[in-house]
Structure 1
Amino acid sequence: MSKTIITCAVTGSIHTPSMSPYLPYTPEDIAAQAICAARAGAAILHLHARDPENGRPSGDPKHYGAFLPKIAAECDAVINLTTGGSAVMTLEDRLRAPLRFAPEMCSLNMGTMNFALYPMAEKPRQWHFDWEEPFLKESDDLVFKNTPRDIAGVLQQMGEERDARFEFECYDIGHLYMLRHFVDRGLVRKPIFIQFVFGVLGGMGPDPETLDHLIALADKLLGRDYMFSVLAAGRHQIPMATHAARRGGHVRVGLEDNLFITKGQLATNNAEQVDQVRTLLEEMGHDIATPDDARAMLGLKGAGKTGI
C-alpha cells in the first residue's frame, strides 16, 4: 500500500464568518491554522484568501501575500492555491494570486456548474457582515463558470508556463470526461491527481456507490496513471474519506468543506480534523505521506521554485 496524502482545505470561499467563530479569515488566523494542520499531518495545504476586514473571499494577491510567506517559512507542506477562488469572481480575479506566486500546485475545477449554497442561509443566525446572507440566498441563480477555453488557459498559464501541477476537481461525472479530453489534447501531464468533490448542490451527492463508479470510470478513461482523493461536504466528510481510503485513495479535510468535528460540535481549528482523519487512517493500516512523499508522488517542482 502506498502512502496516503492528507490535504487540508483551510478556509475556502463557501462558509461565511457567521457560521463558525473558528473559521479563519484574517491572515494571522489562516497562517496559524495552516501551520498547525501541517504539523498534524497534512502534506498539502489548499488555500484561499479572504478580506480581513469582513471575511469576504478575495482574489487579491496582497491578501495572499499576508499569510503565504509565514506558512512557507514555518512548515514544509505543499502549498496548493485555488484557481476556483469564489463562484462570484471572474477568471481573471481567480488567477491573480496563482499567477503572482507560482505555487507547486493549483486546484482546477473541470467544468461549469450550478453552485447552489442557498440552503445554508435557512438556519437562523446573527449575520456578522452584510454580504453574507445575500451571497448565500442569491446562489439559487449562481453558475460557476469554467469553460473548456478557461480550463485550457489555466493549464497553459499555470502548468506550462509556471510548472505547477494540479488538483483536478471533479464535481460530476462529466468533469472526468473533460479531464480525459485535456489528456488527449496533450495539456495534462501524468501522474494525474483527481479530487472527487461530493455534496455541493449542483454536483454529485455523497454516495459511496458513486465513488465506486467514478473509480471504475477513471480506470477506463485514464488507465493507472492517476491518483484520486475525496472530499465530501459537511457530515459526509469522514464516511466518504473512510470509503476513499478503503478504495486506495487519498483524503481531504478542512473547514472549507466541513465546520464540524462531530455531530453538533464545531471544530475549533483545522488541525482537529487532520488529527481525526490521520488517526482513522493509521488505524486502517495506512502510512501517512509527508510533504516530501507527496512531492515525489505527484512530481512537484519543489518549494524553492515558487514565488512565495
Structure 2
Amino acid sequence: MLSEVTATRYVTPLREGGSLPGIVEADDLGTYVMKFTGAGQGRKTLVAEVVCGQLGRRLGLRVPELVTIQLDPVIGLGEPDQEVQELLKASGGLNLGMDYLPGSLGFDPLAYTMDPVEAGRVVWFDALINNVDRSWRNPNMLVWHGEPWLIDHGATMIWHHNWPGARASAAKPYDASDHVLAPFAPDVDAAAAELAPLVTEELLTEVAADVPDEWLVGEPGFDTPDALRRAYVEALLPRAATIHERLTLGKRTERGPSRAPGWLTDHLTPWPHPTKDGGTGGIGARTEDGTT
C-alpha cells in the first residue's frame, strides 16, 4: 500500500503537462509532484500512474516513489491563477504524489547516452504497458544525479478506457520506432529474458492492490474494486510473456512535434507562432521538447 501524506503547502504549478500538476509540500516534510483527481484526464490517469509506476519500481527501474496525498482545497486560496484554484477545488480528498527530484534535467538523446542493455529494459517495459508517451518528441525521462528516471505513466494501458475491448487491445503489438531510446540499439530480447519471468500473477496482484479503492469504484462492468484490479492483472500478465515478439523498431517518423492546424492559427496574427514566418513566441509556441 502506498504511504499517505497530507499536503501542507501548494508551491507552484508545473505547466509542462496538460493535466497541470503542481509541486506541494507535505506533512512528512517531503516535496512532491502532485497529480489531481479533478484534472481533465480523470482518475484513470492516476490509476495508470500507480499500476505502471509501482510495476516499474518492482522491476528495478528508476521511477520516483509514489504516495497518496490528502488535499484540503483551502490550501489553494492564496493561488492567484483561477485555473489552478478551480483544479484544487475539484480535487479535494485523495490525490497522487511523486517524489520531487530537485535539480533534475530533462533527458535529451542528443546530450546523453544509454547502453543497449538499459535501453532495452526501458523499451521492453514501455511495450508491456503500451506507453505511447516516451517518444523523441516527449521523452518523459529525467536525469538526476547522472541517472535516468522514468516519469509520467498516465498515458499507458490504453485498454482501460474501453474494458469490453481490453483483451484485443492488450494483445496488439508495440511500435517503438519513435521511442526516445530507439537510437541506442536497445537489447529487447535480453530485457525480456530478464524481466518477463518477474512479471508474475502475484506481482501484478500486489501492484494493483496499491490503487486506492475510491479511484476504482463505479467502473461500468465491475461490481467491486477488486474485480477491476483483477482486470489489470489479466491484461498485463499474458502481454509480458510475448510482447517482445511483437515489438518493432523501424525508421523514425520524420515529422516534428505536433502543432495546431493552420485553420486554427491563421487568424491569430499579429501573434507569431512556429507555423508562420519562423516566429517562436506567442500563444501556442512550443519548446524543443514539445511543451507549450
Superposed pair shares fold, TM > 0.5: no
Higher helix proportion? 1
**Class of the TM-score when normalised by the shorter of the 2 chains:** under 0.3
Largest Rg, 1 or 2: 2
Q: Which has the higher contact order (CA 8 A, sep 6+)?
A: 1
TM-score if structure 2 supplies the norm length? 0.25
TM-score if structure 1 supplies the norm length? 0.25
